[in-house]
A and B are shown apart, each in its own frame.
Chain A
Amino acid sequence: MVEIDAVIHQPVRLKIMAALKALPSHEQIEFVRLRKLVDATEGNLGAHIQTLEQAGYIAVEKDFADNKPRTRVKLTKQGRRAFEDYVAYLKDLIAGPEG
């Protein structure tokens, strides 16, 4: 069996990384929007975002918009590379030794 990045290979974190990967580089997405995209609760998403941030895969920016706190997230270069490597591993694993 192939060893794979366990930080990414968790259902909610995988969706977070995939959702961020779909955006243009440097594009951020708001926490509220990301929560709806990955179908997670606020607490659940917060915990997974913290894990990904600690791994260096995403960058979190907090500020205020219209006097309300706002959290935005984007994929880092390291995160983009890690996700691409992760997908490549999956494809190699599916293809098997002949692929």
Chain B
Amino acid sequence: MIPFSGRKSFRFAFSGLGVILIILIAVPLLRMILSADPEVMRSTIADREVMASIFLTLRCALWATIACAILGIPLAYLLARWNFPGKSLVQGLVDIPVMIPHTAAGIALLMVYGRNFFLGKTLNEIGLDFVGTETGISLAMAYVSLPFLVNAAKDGFLAIDPKLERVARTLGASPWQAFFRVSIPLAWRSILSGSIMMWARGISEFGAVIILAYHPMTAPILIWERFQAYGLKYAKPVAVLLILLCLLIFALLRWLAEPKKET
């Protein structure tokens, strides 16, 4: 319990405002989950199309996260440790994808990775097709959600005293060894929680994905399609299933990333 001293009115006002927000978040989720008919849920789980689409979504978001971790962690480290000309520009660029409408991001991606642009055309010729493929879905997810990973990793590195890395160097560590034996172990919690955020954001992505790949259908698109074609009754079970699955996975990962109390 955090010691909390002060006027009752202050505490009351803040608690009240906080509770309102919690209700706003929780009620729609609870209402949706509680109203699910067990019978319909069972048949939804048995629905091959639904399960395939959910797994496709989880898989594509995971690939996007892994790819961005490999490219993004070094960038995050650079941003945390080095000053270079144009650093704030780079930082701004990393943040842009969360600022722009995601359908717009999808269109921008299509213009580069579609077959009408040399890059998309060249990649297509070597067998990398982005339109209507899993690769395309991963790309769209990665583009709009990478800031979560890069920024979290950067904050993680910033929280490490650079002296720790310097001392490691004087103890005989190469820059690589210092990075992998000191920086990464100290920042991994931030990196993991950033990755979870990025993965979650990737799974929920709709706007950018639908422009690059309507098919194969990710879960958010499937939900939208069923809502359009058959109405709320048919969209709901898929949505409930996706929400439950996500909550489960994220609870697990959060628990992993949580600092454990030392005995």
Chain A complexes with chain B: no
Contact residues of A with B, CB < 8 Å? none
